[in-house]
Amino acid sequence: MMKLSPYLGRASEFLIINSGRSSCLSSRSALLARHGSTTSGRSAAGPQDANDMNTSPKSSAADMNPTSTRHTYIPRRAMMYIPGDDAKKIAKIPTLIVDCPVLECEDGVALNRKEEARQLIHKTLETADWVKERKTRGLDVAVRINSFQSGLADQDLQSLLSAKTLPTTLLIPKIEGKEELRHTAHILTEKLAGRAGRDPLRLILYIESAKALLSMRKLLKTALKVADESHNLLALDGVVFGSDDYCADIGANRSNEAKEVLFARQYFLTVVKSFQRSLQAIDLVHIDFKDLDDLRRQSEEGARFGFTGKQVIHPAQVDVVQQAYSPAPDKLKWAQEVVEAFTRHQKEGKGAFNFRNAMIDRPLLLQAENIVAYAKLIGQPQR
C-alpha cells in the first residue's frame, strides 16, 4: 500500500495566483475557487514600507469586512534563523535558497547583544538589496522578536516598526495568554494604520510550553479574531512548535528521535489543522546540524505527519528540509494519475476502484489532490 503524505491539508481549496520557485496562493481566491469561480490576486510582496503608511487607504468592501481574508499564501518549508547581531551570517542570506530567512532577536542572540541585534536588523531591513529583492519577488523576509514575558518585546517592536521597510512576517515566541495577543495586535494596528488595502503583516506564533499547548485552540481563536478585526493589517499565517523550550518546560530530555515530544507534536498539529484556514504548522528544530541523514528522516516524518515546514539553524540543513517538504516526483506523478483515474471511475459509477493493487476512494483522492495542489504552490514542475 502506497504511503501518503498530505503535505498541506486542504491545499486543494486554493487557487494558485503566482508561479515561480515560491508561489503564493490567495485564500480569498480559494474561497471563490471552491465555489467554482476564479479570480486573480495580488503579489505577496505588497508594499510594507513605512513610507507607504501615509498613502491614502484604498478601502473597499473587502477591506472593511472583518472576515475577508484576501492575503496570499507564502510557503515556508524551511524557516531559517540567522542571529540578528551577526553581520557575517546575515551577509550569507542572499546566497541561500530558503523559503523563510528569519532575522533572529530572541534566543539566538545573547542578552547583552539585544540592542546590537535590533540595530542591525533595522539597518538590514532598510538597506539590504536582498530584502528589497525578496519582497519584490513575493518571497518571505521574517523577524523573530523576543517574548513578551522577557520584557524586551516592546523595545524590539519599537525598533522594528520604525524601519522604512517592514518584514513580511513577524514571529512571536512563547505565546502564553490572550492578553499578549491583544497587546501585540494593538501596538501593530496602531503603527500600521493607513495601510489598509496593502498586503497584511503576517504573524507566526510559537507554542512552547505545556500550558500553551493545552490552551492552544483558544489562543489561535483569539489570534485569528484580532487579525480579522485588524481589517487586513494583520494576518495569522501559522504556528511553530518550539520543541526545546517545550522540553525544558515539561522536564524532558531532547533526543533526535523526538519520542518525548511525539504526543505534543501530534496534538499541536491536530489543533492547527482543526481550523478551517490554511494555517501553517512548523515542526521542531534538528539541533544536531552535522547529521543530515537524521535531519532527512525527521523532516520526512514531519511532512508525513502533516507539518508544512520545519525550523532550521544552519545553511547545510536548508536543502534537505525543503526537499523533504516537496512531494517526490514519483509521488506527484502517482497523485496526478489518481486524480485522473478517479474522474474516469466516477463517470463509470464507481466510488472505489483498484489502482495498481491499492484501493482508491474519495479520501485517497483528497490526499492526492493535496499533493498536486501543494506541488503547484511551491512551483514544482508538473508533468
83 sits near ligand COA (criterion: CB under 6 A): yes
Least distance from Mg ion to the Cβ atom of residue 142, Å: 15
The residues, any chain, with a CB within 8 Å of residue 135's CB and separated by 6 or more, are: 45, 48, 141, 165, 168
| Residue 78: all three cell numbers together | 524551511
Binding segment toward ligand COA, per CB under 6 A, in 51-59, 114-122, 204-212, 308-316? 308-316
Q: What beta strand segments (E) does 87-132 contain?
A: 100-104
Site for Mg ion in 231-250 (CB under 5 A): 242, 245
Q: Which is nearer to ligand COA, 107 or 283 (CB)?
A: 107
Q: Which is nearer to ligand COA, 107 or 369 (CB)?
A: 107
| Residue 28: all three cell numbers together | 480569498
Binding segment toward ligand COA, per CB under 6 A, in 18-26, 35-43, 86-94, 259-267? 86-94
Which residue stretches of 150-261 are H helix?
A: 153-161, 178-192, 210-214, 216-229, 243-250
Q: Is 319 a catalytic residue?
A: no
Q: Which is nearer to ligand COA, 92 or 123 (CB)?
A: 92
104 sits near ligand COA (criterion: CB under 6 A): yes
81 sits near ligand COA (criterion: CB under 6 A): yes
| Residue 166: all three cell numbers together | 517592514
The bridge status of strand 78-83 relative to strand 72-73 is unpaired
104 sits near Mg ion (criterion: CB under 5 A): no
Residue 313 binding result from Mg ion, ligand COA, none, given CB thresholds of 5 to 8 Å by partner type: ligand COA
246 sits near ligand COA (criterion: CB under 6 A): no
Binding residue positions for substrate:
144, 208
Least distance from ligand COA to the Cβ atom of residue 373, Å: 30
Q: Which is nearer to Mg ion, 209 or 298 (CB)?
A: 209
Q: Quick check: helix, strand or coil at residue 117?
A: helix
Least distance from ligand COA to the Cβ atom of residue 227, Å: 24
In DSSP notation, 266-323 reads HHHHHHHHTSSS--EEEE-----TT-HHHHHHHHHHHHHHT--EEEE-SHHHHHHHHH
Q: Please count the residues of this chain forming the interface with ligand COA, following the rule CB under 6 A.
A: 13
245 sits near ligand COA (criterion: CB under 6 A): no
DSSP state of 49: B
Q: Which is nearer to Mg ion, 244 or 300 (CB)?
A: 244
Q: Which of 20, 34, 66, 92 binds ligand COA (CB under 6 A)?
A: 92
The bridge status of strand 358-360 relative to strand 353-355 is antiparallel
88 sits near ligand COA (criterion: CB under 6 A): yes
d(CA 165, CA 167): 7
DSSP state of 380: P
Indicate which residues carry an active-site annotation: 361
